[in-house]
């Protein structure tokens, strides 16, 4: 689980060392996510990457290992991968998705079986996302199959991860701009994007080629898997919804 990245706007506003430690009700945001991850039966080990001294208290409540953050998202991801060193399928999750549920995790893992690909990326429809979280601004991409937003939990073959990092880094740079992101795939894909002729299968094939692995998109019926607390408005909504539970 990625819980580092330094102080952002929300962490500064809330007076904590990282966003994962923002309080939602009576507990830190990361604990909502950890509770779900640890309750997912197929998970064998849990590693949290972030400011280690500030996160050690989690070991009093969860069976987790804490790794000191190394810098940006990808550096932290590589650090966790090297720490695990297992060459197996690894679930990668951000620590700012407090609405995540065990049902969403089980659904994702079920749809990934028999785990024949190297990279699984969940996507949720705009309709389901806006119904579940009305008014939340998300980045959407329109494909032939519908309009989708990406999730914040991935399944990766850890043996293939590090070699794909340089390409992933370029896409992360443009993750808030679909047009720029699609342009990295090539001129033909940019044209298909503008004319709404992109397909899931076409994107899977292109990503597989660029990353030198087998990539697959998984349509999730649980938009909770993609609702990240990224802005003050997201934080207010998360607090309201969790208080309502």
Residue 214 has pLDDT above 90, yes or no: yes
Domains of the chain: residue spans and CATH: 1-98 (3.90.550.10), 116-150+158-228 (3.90.550.10)
Structure token pair of residue 120: 């699984």
- What is the predicted pLDDT for the residue at 72? 86
What does the pLDDT average to over 53-59? 97
Residue 176 has pLDDT above 90, yes or no: no
Element (H, E) at 219: strand 215-219
What is d(CA 152, CA 95) in angstroms, rounded to the nearest whole number? 9
Q: What is the pLDDT of residues 73-128, one digit of tens each?
A: 889 999 999 999 888 899 999 999 999 999 999 999 999 999 999 999 999 999 99
């Amino acid at each position: 689980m990625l819980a580092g990245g330094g102080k952002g706007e929300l962490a500064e506003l809330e007076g904590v060392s990282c966003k994962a430690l923002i309080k939602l009700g009576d507990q830190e945001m990361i604990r909502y996510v950890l509770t779900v991850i640890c309750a997912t039966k197929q998970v064998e080990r849990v590693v949290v990457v972030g400011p280690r001294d500030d996160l050690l208290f989690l070991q009093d409540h969860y069976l987790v290992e804490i790794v000191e953050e190394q810098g940006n998202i990808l550096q932290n991801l590589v650090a966790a991968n090297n720490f695990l060193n297992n060459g197996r399928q690894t679930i990668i999750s951000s620590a700012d998705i407090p609405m995540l549920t065990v049902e969403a995790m089980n659904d994702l893992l079920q749809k990934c079986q028999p785990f024949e690909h190297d990279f699984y990326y969940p996507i949720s429809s705009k309709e389901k996302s806006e119904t579940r979280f009305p008014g939340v601004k998300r980045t959407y991409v329109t494909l032939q199959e519908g309009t989708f937003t990406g999730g914040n939990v991935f399944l990766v073959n850890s043996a293939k991860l590090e070699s794909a990092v340089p390409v992933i880094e370029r896409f992360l740079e443009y993750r808030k701009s679909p047009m720029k992101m699609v342009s990295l795939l090539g001129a033909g894909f940019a044209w298909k994007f503008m004319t709404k002729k992109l397909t899931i299968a076409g994107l899977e094939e292109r990503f597989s080629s660029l990353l030198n692995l087998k990539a697959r998109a998984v349509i999730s019926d649980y938009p909770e898997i993609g609702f990240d607390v990224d802005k003050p408005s997201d934080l207010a909504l998360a607090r309201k919804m969790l208080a309502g539970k």
